[in-house]
Amino acid sequence: MASKIVGRRACPWCGFEHAHVKESDKCLYFYCPGCGTNGPHARTEAQRANMARGMRPEGSQHAPTPTPAPPAAKAAPAPAVPTPTPPRPTPAPAAAKAPAEATPTPTPAPAPAAPRRVGFFQF
**Number of Cβ within a 10 Å radius of residue 41:** 14
Q: Is residue 33 within 8 Å of residue 22, measured between CB atoms?
A: no
Judging by beta carbons within 10 Å of its beta carbon (0-12, 13-18, 19+), is residue 56 exposed, middle or buried?
A: middle
Q: Domain map of the chain by residue range?
A: 4-57
pLDDT for the residue 67: 56
pLDDT tens, position by position, for the chain (123 residues)? Answer: 588 999 999 988 898 989 999 998 888 898 999 999 888 888 899 988 888 888 888 875 555 555 565 666 666 666 667 667 777 777 776 666 666 676 777 888 888 888 776 666 655
Tell me how far apart the alpha carbons of residues 100 and 14 are, in angstroms, rounded to a whole number.
62
With a CB cutoff of 8 Å and minimum separation 6, the contacts of 48 are 28, 42
CA angle 74, 80, 85 (to 5 degrees): 110
pLDDT for the residue 121: 63
pLDDT for the residue 8: 92
